Amino acid sequence: MTRRQRASAFRAAQYALLLVIILVFAFTANWTQLRHSFFNLEAAAKQFPDVITVALKNTIVYTVLGFSLGLALGLVLALMRLSSVGPYRWFARAYIEFFRGLPALLIFIAVGTGIPLAFPGTSLNRNVAIMVSLGIISAAYMAETIRAGIQAVPRGQIEAARSLGMSPGRAMITIVIPQAFRIVLPPLANELIMLTKDTSLAFLLATTPDQQELAQFARQALNTTQSLTPILVGGLCYLVITIPLSLVQQRLERRFGAGVKPGGGV
Amino acid sequence: MSDNTVIEVSELHKAFGDLQVLRGVDLRVERGEVVCIIGPSGSGKSTLLRCVNMLEQPNAGRVSVDGVDLTDPDVDIDAARRRIGMVFQSFNLFGHLNVLDNLTVAQRKVLKRDKENAETVARANLTKVGLSEKEKSFPNQLSGGQQQRVAIARALSMDPDVMLFDEPTSALDPELVGDVLGVMRQLADEGMTMLVVTHEMQFARDVADKVLFMDGGVIVEQGDPEQVIGAPQHERTKSFLARVLDPTHHGPSDPAL
Ligand SMILES: Nc1ncnc2c1ncn2[C@@H]1O[C@H](COP(=O)(O)OP(=O)(O)O)[C@@H](O)[C@H]1O
Ligand SMILES: [Mg+2]
């Protein structure tokens, strides 16, 4: 066989395999049952408007709260990682390893039970607990991303700032961090997408009906509608958040990733 | 040291690990003087310049600028650097700021000038380097020669007493070198005190009051430009100049111009 013949035979084999897989699924799955469970229009209609006005809204609120805390804490941890003071570096290192290594589920439980223990008498504000849980997890990831971004800013930028009389802290705040953030925008957008899905653990903090986010809302609706359709509706709502984020991330990558180099040097 | 001495370096030593880069350098720049440093790559020129504003910490010796000993651990180095402008080979403009903001950021944050005042100073310096129409551009929208002139204007906006230049034209396309050298000539004519590392021999001959030839971490020869470049005494200076002035020349050193 020539190289061209071999290539087209190989491609034909791949299409054949795909066709077989599709046929197997088509004939073995119970389509009536699936359609009845997942595409029940009546059950879908019942989800509205609460799935938007309560569940989607809460998912967005929890994501924003968790991301804000995570970003602030992550920046502090990144600076600690780069500090000349040993104990700061060790603490940041330990924090990052610890919270990156634990499942988010455990952290939600620990925060939910830990805050009332640590501050007796305070009633647990669920928004705060969700924000803290999501914040301490995402901070561990974001710290490493931000640290890498700070280190990717060319040394000449700091030298130029120092040569103009800026102190190390001033140079960091005015010159380095703004440029580091441009570098890390795409990976941070990725963190935001991950975090959006982690909000589904908020049910561990015993939320009231008006505090439910998408995943819990959908699970609850399974019982009332006797249908799997709410899962589909809830899932689509997640995509309403994450797909635009992905698009933004791709645009940022194109804008900052390859083309523009910080410093404008040679 | 007279009142007119701006930079005084004595017995300066600097090593990177085991590599001795500066082995006892003495240097003096008087107010209004232009001193050019020439010498082969790796001879320690940049390191010397970077020790003058303490971007590198010397291992031994003294650096004083305007009578302030910068090697003193208690010195306010940020205050000292406000008076020492520096221009880098790779420009190092702040990539996230437009040209005007590049010129005002340190004026505002370091000198605490108000916005209006800082912008007035910035615009005057942009006009001086011939780029007043570029104030809204970002560094990556400018040619290398334009970026370097902005970098000069940025340093000038701090009203420094002295300007350090580290091979300011080495990263530029040949046709852009002239614009930058033109700005530097003008500065020299206005009486700015300048310490310039350069390979531009014609510039050194025309503008410098004194030329230093460095090799192997020491100053081998120094003096009047006509003397050092025109009639060098040391063998190392002669062979360096032969290579720089006539890169295709392979015969015995003949630095005649
Ligand atoms: N930060 C540094 N760490 C280690 N070695 C360095 C550093 N900076 C410069 N050097 C070395 O010091 C020597 C002199 O460098 P430099 O002062 O840049 O020379 P020049 O500017 O004359 O070309 C070179 O061998 C260079 O590799
Ligand atoms: Mg150099």
Q: What's the angle, vertex CA B204, arms to CA B203 and CA B210, rounded to 5?
A: 150
d(CA B46, CA B86): 12
d(CA B35, CA B38): 10
Q: Could you tell me which residues come within 8 angstroms of residue A11 by beta carbon, excluding any fewer than 6 positions away?
A: none
Beta-strand relationship, B193-197 and B5-16: unpaired
Complex ipTM > 0.85: yes
pTM assigned to the model:
0.85
Contact criterion met (CB below 8 Å) for A230 and A177: no
Q: How far is A229 from chain B (nearest CA, A)?
A: 48
Contact criterion met (CB below 8 Å) for B179 and B149: yes
Q: What is the pLDDT of residue A220?
A: 84
Q: Inspect the interface and report whether the beta carbons of B140 and A164 lie closer than 8 Å.
A: no
Collect contacts of B182-187 with beta carbons under 8 A, ≥24 apart.
Answer: B183/B128, B183/B129, B183/B130, B183/B149, B183/B152, B184/B152, B186/B128, B187/B152, B187/B156, B187/B163
Pocket test for ligand 1, best of B13, B14, B21 (most atoms within 8 A of CB): B21
Of A156, A182, A265, the CB nearest to B96: A182
Q: Tell me the residues of chain B between 75 and 114 that have a Cβ less than 8 Å away from chain A.
A: 78-79, 81-82, 84-86, 88, 90-96, 105-106, 109-111
Nearest to B22 by CA among B217, B220, B197, B221: B217
Helix %, strand %, coil % for chain A, to 5?
A: 85, 0, 15
Q: Exposed, middle or buried, B114 (CB in 10 Å: 0-12/13-18/19+)? A: exposed
Average pLDDT over residues B8-31: 96
Range of lowest pLDDT (A190-199, B6-15, B191-200): A190-199
Of B86, B93, B110, the CB nearest to A264: B93
Q: What is the pLDDT of residues B24-49, one digit of tens each?
A: 999 999 999 999 999 999 999 999 99
Per-residue pLDDT of chain A (266 residues; tens, 9 = 90+): 788 999 999 999 999 999 999 999 888 888 888 887 777 777 777 777 888 888 898 899 999 999 999 999 999 999 999 999 999 999 999 999 999 999 999 999 998 888 878 877 776 678 888 999 999 999 999 999 999 999 999 999 999 999 999 999 999 999 999 999 888 988 999 899 999 999 999 888 867 888 888 888 888 888 887 778 888 888 899 999 999 999 988 888 777 654 344 444 33
d(CA B30, CA B32): 6
- Can you read off the two tokens belonging to residue A74? 């992550």
Q: What is the pLDDT of residues B198-245, one digit of tens each?
A: 999 999 999 999 999 999 999 999 999 999 999 999 999 999 999 888
Q: What is the pLDDT of residue B252?
A: 52
Domain extents for chain B?
93-159
Nearest to B190 by CA among B207, B202, B177: B207
| Model confidence band, residue B15 (pLDDT cutoffs 50, 70, 90) | very high
Q: What is the pLDDT of residues B109-132, one digit of tens each?
A: 999 999 999 999 999 999 999 999
Q: Which residue bears the tokens 């630095």?
A: B255
CA B231 to chain centre: 24
Within chain B, residue ranges assigned H as helices are 45-52, 77-82, 99-109, 115-128, 144-156, 174-189, 201-207, 225, 235-245
Q: What is the pLDDT of residues B149-186, one digit of tens each?
A: 999 999 999 999 999 999 999 999 999 999 999 999 99
Pocket test for ligand 1, best of B12, B14, B19 (most atoms within 8 A of CB): B19
- B154 interaction partners in chain A (CB closer than 8 Å): 164
Q: What is the pLDDT of residue A264?
A: 41
Q: What is the DSSP letter of A261?
A: P
Contact criterion met (CB below 8 Å) for A138 and A75: no
Q: What is the pLDDT of residue B2?
A: 62
Q: Inform me whether the pLDDT recorded for B1 exceeds 60.
A: no
Q: Which residue bears the tokens 């968790």?
A: A66
d(CA A243, CA A246): 5
Q: What is the pLDDT of residue A43?
A: 73
- Give the largest Cα separation in chain B, rounded: 60
Q: What is the pLDDT of residue B142?
A: 96
